[in-house]
Amino acid sequence: MAAQTAAPGVRDQEIAAEQAHLDRVYHRLEEKIHEAEFLMSDAAQRGQVGTPGALAERDAQVFRAGIHLNRLNSEFEDFLFGRIDLLRGKDGKKGADGAFTSVDPADDAIREDATADIAETLHIGRIGVLDTDYAPLVIDWRAPAAAPFYRSTPVAPGRVVRRRVIRSKGRRVLGVEDDLLRPELTTGLPVIGDGALMAALGQARTHTMRDIVSSIQAEQDLVIRAPAASVTEVTGGPGTGKTAVALHRAAYLLYQDRRRYAGGILCVSPTPLLVAYTEGVLPSLGEEGQVAIRAVGSLVDGVTADLYDDPAVARIKGSLRMTKVLRNAARGCLDGDDRQPSVLRVVAFGRRVELDPQELDAVRQQVLGGTAPVNLLRPRARRLLLDALWRKSGRRFDDQQLAAEERQGFDEDISTEQDFIDFLDGWWPVLRPADVLAALADEKRLSRWARRVLSPPEVRRVARSLRRTGATVHDVALLDELETLLGLPPRDKRREIDPMDQLTGLDELMPQRGESGRERAERLAWERTEYAHVIVDEAQDLTPMQWRMVGRRGRTATWTIVGDPAQSSWLDVDEAARARDEALGARPRRRFTLTVNYRNPAEIAEVAATVLALAMPGSESPRAVRSTGIRPRYEVAGDDLGADVRAAAQVLLAEVDGTVGVVVAMNRRAQARGWLAGLGDRVVALGSLEAKGLEYDATVVVCPAEIAEESPAGLRVLYVALTRATQQLTVLAGERDLPNADGVPDLLRRD
Ligand SMILES: Nc1ncnc2c1ncn2[C@@H]1O[C@H](COP(=O)(O)OP(=O)(O)OP(=O)(O)O)[C@@H](O)[C@H]1O
């Protein structure tokens, strides 16, 4: 996009001009911080006055000052990053941010000799800053006036003549990168660098994702700013920026409607590794602690699962058939335990009254006739037991009032009798999801509850998997389903809500004393069971049972769902689609497709496309935006696979500045960590399913055939593994890969 390169010396002049602007901005920010600090201390003093009027005023002041301080302090780093130079607009109207609103240039903005004047220059940053005379010094990147910075292209430039990305650190401008969007015009604007996007893509990777706020591309911007109503669905191949876009969208929604969304956005990620990788992006956009980013294995409070079931078991546990099994189990768990009392004996009116097993069973069946959650049926069970005991006691009264009084006394006496209380606790215990899940580990009980739903070998597999220690990722969705079926008493640890918080909305904007952003996100996640907006990353991987779990958290929410069917590790795609439809209901959906791969150079994307053609014949690969000229390296492992993997990783560590990921089949995870021991923290070993969403400067993909064969969706998992590198890829073939003379595995050959 960039064209003419400016003469030497011009770059320094341009940097100096941006430096002067940044100095003005900092000066203004300092003024505002002083103002905010003054307001805070003033407000604190006035708070002591205590009249209702003064209190309301104090709240309003603290509210505004708090926002200022919070944001200014956290965003002093590199918050000014962009500039656009614009032609005069069609009309002379200005928006709330002080910028002209028109997207199109005025008819006479361009003269016949293709010369034009720059009518407006806007600087874009992480927050908006107005000068003392309300002229915009910096426009918030989410404001409408900033949209042309992202949306303009040489094909549809609108008013934008030049787009500039400013690189700065603290108070110093380090450089500028320009894109000329109307190269046909003569405006006198110099153009510096090769364009911001390429500069951003060439940077070495760390173990955390960076924001892309200075180089969001037009098709991505359409998604980020899509109206929040209903469901926004985004598909796109690997590296098209789906995760980045979803996170920037969260920041945009907060900017648009903070009252509605603050603290009420849930972002569901497939793995804890991806959570750790992405959780810095929102704070860098100034939205610390407003979005709960959670792994799908950590959505149920008190459980953090990162164990995986083997694919055959995962397939059963993730399927909708489990809803039936769990419904039976939730009710079936009430009986069958040997320790349960089988007879109820109490003393009434001076004699023993007893209910035998048949009578008790009749009571139980009657109670279970209702559809309410099992734990919530306990009061009904208690009442019907008392009814049965009363009938058995043989007392009859002709006088109705007397009968009612007697009955009341009877109920009070019996229900406070220790024998009765103990019996009820044993016969209709309060069931916890974990207890019921543990009961499923008993093959006999499970086969009873799974009759005509699971086959005997399936029962055996599931029961065996549940006998192992530790919950798996798929168990979490089962626990959540059970929580609904059992109905738990409301959580008791809720934070007390300060009435003043409700008055001002301050609660949503200000962290509590001494609380970090992360702690705040944790607290909000704990307190919330339903969200205003739910983002699902890597949505193609959610099983039907997981869709039900996530759906329960967004019953009244708007949604952003990003994914790529070609990367799905779940086999039953249709069943997952049905569960997803059920979770989303009839809400209208707005669909977007991202088409450009920003991660992989063309040389790596080409290899991945070979596997895609096998995994999902007919589907299209995204277009790689750059090429490095470095071809993937193919090697064949000898007798010592570990030594070869280690050597390949060492070569890459020497060649790239940033990170190296070594992807192996899931069952080699622990082994691979051992192979890489001592190589430092730039290199990581990953099981194939853990590689989801992550990226590295270079990757080693170990024994592709093993990855492809480890599950029925293995080819798609291999496709994920091959698309993680931003610069270099080494493929290390094992025997099963049938490498050719050049070491290229059978699965990666085009012929
Ligand atoms: N507009 C952009 N400017 C700079 N970098 C970008 C841009 N868009 C995407 N990227 C970079 O491309 C890489 C891939 O982005 P991201 O992880 O969001 O893609 P994805 O579609 O979620 O990929 P996958 O499906 O493989 O998980 C990231 O390093 C991201 O920062």
Q: What is the 3-state secondary structure (H, E, C) of 596-661?
A: EECCCCHHHHHHHHHHHHHHCCCCCCCEECCCCCCCCEEEECCCCHHHHHHHHHHHHHHHCCCCEE
Measured distance CA(130)–CA(316) in Å, rounded? 58
Helix extents (H) in 417-543: 418-427, 433-439, 443-449, 456-467, 473-486, 499-504, 506-509, 517-527
- By C-alpha distance, which of 630, 620, 564 is closest to 600? 630
Measured distance CA(374)–CA(643) in Å, rounded? 56
Measured distance CA(229)–CA(248) in Å, rounded? 17
Cβ–ligand 1 contact at 67 (below 6 Å): no
243 in Cβ contact with 563 (< 8 Å): no
C-alpha of residue 11 to centroid of ligand 1, in Å: 29
Is residue 242 part of an annotated ligand binding site?
A: yes
> Within its chain, how far is the Cα of 522 from the centroid?
14
**Tens digits of residue pLDDT in 143-160:** 888 988 888 877 788 999
- Over the range 53-78, which residues count as b (16 or more CB within 10 Å of their CB) and which as e? eeeeebbebbbbbbbbbbbbebbeeb
- By C-alpha distance, which of 434, 435, 458 is closest to 446? 458
Look over the chain and give the mean of its residue pLDDT values, rounded to a whole number: 85
How much is the average pLDDT of 680-699? 95
Measured distance CA(68)–CA(33) in Å, rounded? 7
Q: Which atom, in ligand 1's list, is nearest to the CA of 205?
A: 29
DSSP 561-604: EEE-GGG---S-HHHHHHHHHHHHTT--EEEEEE-EESSS-HHH
Q: Whose alpha carbon is nearest atom 14 of ligand 1?
A: 239
Measured distance CA(588)–CA(604) in Å, rounded? 37
**Tens digits of residue pLDDT in 84-130:** 999 988 877 777 766 778 888 888 888 988 889 998 999 998 878 88
Q: What is the pLDDT of residue 537?
A: 96
Q: What is the pLDDT of residue 501?
A: 35
C-alpha of residue 672 to centroid of ligand 1, in Å: 27
The pLDDT of residue 509 is above 50: no
C-alpha of residue 718 to centroid of ligand 1, in Å: 19
Residue of 275, 695, 724 to mutate, ligand 1, most atoms within 8 A of C-beta: 695
pTM of the model: 0.81
In this predicted model, which residue has the larger pLDDT, 523 or 447? 447
The pLDDT of residue 439 is above 90: yes
Residue type, 71: R
Distances (CA, A) of 634 to 190, 594, 684, 748: 45, 30, 20, 10
Helices (H) and strands (E) in the chain, counts: 29, 21
How much is the average pLDDT of 384-407? 86
Q: Which atom, in ligand 1's list, is nearest to the CA of 562?
A: 22
* pLDDT bracket for residue 52 (50, 70, 90): low
CB atoms within 10 A of CB 296: 26
* pLDDT bracket for residue 478 (50, 70, 90): very high
Q: Which of 180-189, 362-371, 619-628 has the highest mean pLDDT?
A: 619-628
Is residue 239 part of an annotated ligand binding site?
A: yes
C-alpha of residue 481 to centroid of ligand 1, in Å: 34
- Asked casually if ipTM beats, i.e. exceeds, 0.85, the reply is yes
Residue of 198, 213, 240, 723 to mutate, ligand 1, most atoms within 8 A of C-beta: 240
Is residue 240 part of an annotated ligand binding site?
A: yes
**Tens digits of residue pLDDT in 250-260:** 999 988 888 88
Q: What are phi and psi of 110, to 5 degrees?
A: -110, 125
Residue 381 DSSP label: H
Is residue 121 part of an annotated ligand binding site?
A: no
Residue of 149, 211, 561, 598 to mutate, ligand 1, most atoms within 8 A of C-beta: 598
CA atoms within 13 A on the CB side of 269: 26
Q: Which atom, in ligand 1's list, is nearest to the CA of 246?
A: 18
**Tens digits of residue pLDDT in 707-716:** 999 988 899 9
Helix extents (H) in 374-430: 378-393, 400-416, 418-427
C-alpha of residue 238 to centroid of ligand 1, in Å: 8
Residue of 211, 243, 722 to mutate, ligand 1, most atoms within 8 A of C-beta: 243
**Tens digits of residue pLDDT in 257-286:** 888 887 689 999 999 999 999 988 888 787
